Amino acid sequence: MTRAAPRRAEKHADADTNAGGGVRLFSSLKMKFTLSYAVMIAVVLILMNTYFLIASRDMIFASKQAFVRSQAVMLETALRDIERLTGDSAEQVISRLDISGLSYIKITDAGGGVIFELRVGGADDIVADEFTAEHGARVFDGYGIYSLSFKDGAFSVGAFLPVTRGGTITGSVFVSEIDREQGAILIGLQNTIKNISIVIVLLSSALIVFILWTVMRRITSILRAIVSVRAGEYGYRIKMSGSDELAMLGREFDSLADKLHETEDIRRRFVADASHELKTPLASIRLLSDSILQNEDIDGDTMREFVADIGEEAERLTRTTEKLLSLTKLDGGVSEPPEPVDMREVVSATLRMLRPLALSEGITIDASLDGGCTALLTEDSLHQIVFNLVENALKYNTRGGSVFTHLRREDGEAVLTVEDTGIGVPEDDLRHIFDRFYRVDKARSRAYGGSGLGLSIVRDTVKAFGGTISAARRDSGGMTFEVRFPLYI
C-alpha cells in the first residue's frame, strides 16, 4: 500500500514525535477510537445482561401476579358465603373450583389457625417462609398482601387475603404459584446472553485490532508523508490503494505533493532566472562605471557613450524589475476590482501608441475592431495585455511585415486576436512561451531588451479576470495569439 519512507524522513519523523510534535498516548486517535468503541460495546453488553433480563422477569411477574390475584379473589369470594369456616367446608368449596396452576393453598379461621392446606410438587421448601406472623396480623386488619420472588431458579408469586362476611373477618386465604419451568427458561436466556456477550467481546476485540491495523496504519503513512514533505522531500509519495476516503486523501496528498514539487521547481528556476536577468545589467553597469573611473584620459564623446550605455542598462533593469513586481502582484491576487470595459476603445488607444514603433520598423498594423465587446476587467490590465502582444508581434517580425489585430463577439465571449507575419516560434517551444523568462531566441530578445516576462504577465492577467489565452503558429509564417473574455451583459 505504501512504500518505505527514506531514512532521513523517518529520522525526522521520529525526532519530531519525541520532541513534542508527536501524539500522547491518551490523546492519540488510536486510543480515543479504542476507548470509544470499548465504551459503546460495554454499554450494549450491560443493557443486554440487565435490561432485557429484568424486563423479561418483570413481564413474567406481572402475568403471574395477575393470575394469582384472580385465584385468591375467586377463593375469597367463594369462602365468604360460609357462615363458619371449617376444614370440611373449605375443602368442599375448593373441590368445586378450578384451581389448576396454583402450587399452594392455605386457609385459616378467624383465629389464624390453619383449617385447610394443599401443597403441589415441591412447594414446601419455597413457601414455608413466604409470610411472617406480622403479615398475618396485617391480613386480619383487613389488608391484602402480595409477594414476588425469584430464587433457586423458580418464580414464586403469592397472595394473602382476608375472608370477610358481613364486614367481619372470618378467616384468611393464602395462594401461591411456584413455576420452575419459567425460571429455567429465564436462567437459560441469561446464560445465552452471557455466551453471546463473550462472543461479542471477542469479535469486537478482533474488529478493533483489524481497524487499528488497517486504518491507523494508513493514517500513520499519511502523517509520515506530511512530515517528509514538510522536511523538503517533495518527491515523497504515498501511493495508497483502495477507493475509500483514506485512499482518496492519499491520492489528494500525492497530487498536492506533485503541485508543491512543481511549484518549488518553478520557484527555484524563477529565482535563478531572475538573479541572472538582474545580474546581467548590473554587471554591465559595473563594468562601464569601472571603465570610466579607471580611464583618467577618457574623452567626452566616449564618456557620453558610456553614460548612455549605463542609462540603457538601467532602463532595462527598471523594466525587468517592474515586470517582476507585476508578476508578484498577480501571484498574490492583488489587483483592482473589475468593471465593465469597452474593449474596442482600449484596444484602439493602445494601437495608436504602438503605431510610431511599427512605423520605425517598417511594419504595418491592421485592425478590425467590432463594437459591443464589453468585459469585466480593468482598462490598465487590458492595455497591458494588448501592448505586450502587439509589441512582441512587432519585435519578432520582419521589415515590411504586418500585424493584424481583430476584436469580435463569438458565443458569448469577446475574442481578441493578434497575428503577425514574423519569424514565429518552433513547434517544440510553443508549450513554453508563457513560462517566465523563457525566450526562443535569447540573442534577439536581449538585443530588443526582452526579459522573457511579457507573455507570462499576459497569461496571468488574462486568467486573473476569468479569461483564456492560446498561441498557435500560422501556416503562412508568424504567430497567432487569441484572448477570450466572457461578455458583460
Q: What is the C-alpha separation between 487 and 415, in angstroms, rounded?
A: 9
pLDDT band at 370 (very low <50, low <70, confident <90, very high): very high
- In sequence order, the β-bridge partners of residue 377 are 339
Same domain, 226 and 97: yes
Same domain, 111 and 208: yes
Same domain, 130 and 182: yes
Same domain, 23 and 161: yes
pLDDT score at 486: 93
- Host domain of residue 288: 245-328
Instruction: Return the ∠ at Cα 126 (arms to 122 and 129), rounded to 5°.
Output: 140
Same domain, 212 and 81: yes
Same domain, 95 and 16: yes
Same domain, 165 and 222: yes
Q: How far from 172 is each of 73, 74, 316, 408, CA to CA, in Å?
A: 11, 13, 123, 113
Q: What digits encode the pLDDT tens for the residues 378-428?
A: 888 898 889 889 988 998 888 899 999 999 999 899 999 999 998 888 887
Global pTM reads 0.43
Number of domains in the chain: 3
CATH code at 296? 1.10.287.130
Residue that is last in its domain, among 328, 361, 380:
328
Q: What digits encode the pLDDT tens for the residues 262-301?
A: 777 767 766 766 665 666 677 777 877 877 777 777 777 7
- Tell me which residue of 164, 189, 178, 158 sits closest to 69, measured CA to CA: 158
Q: Out of 51-65, 177-191, 236-250, 270-284, which region has the weakest mean confidence (pLDDT)?
A: 270-284
Q: What is the C-alpha separation between 226 and 259, in angstroms, rounded?
A: 14
DSSP readout, 335-388? -PPPEEEEHHHHHHHHHHHHHHHHHHTT-EEEEEE-S--EEEE-HHHHHHHHHH
DSSP readout, 273-308? HHHHHHHHHHHHHHHHHHHHHH-TT--HHHHHHHHH
End-to-end CA distance of the chain: 52
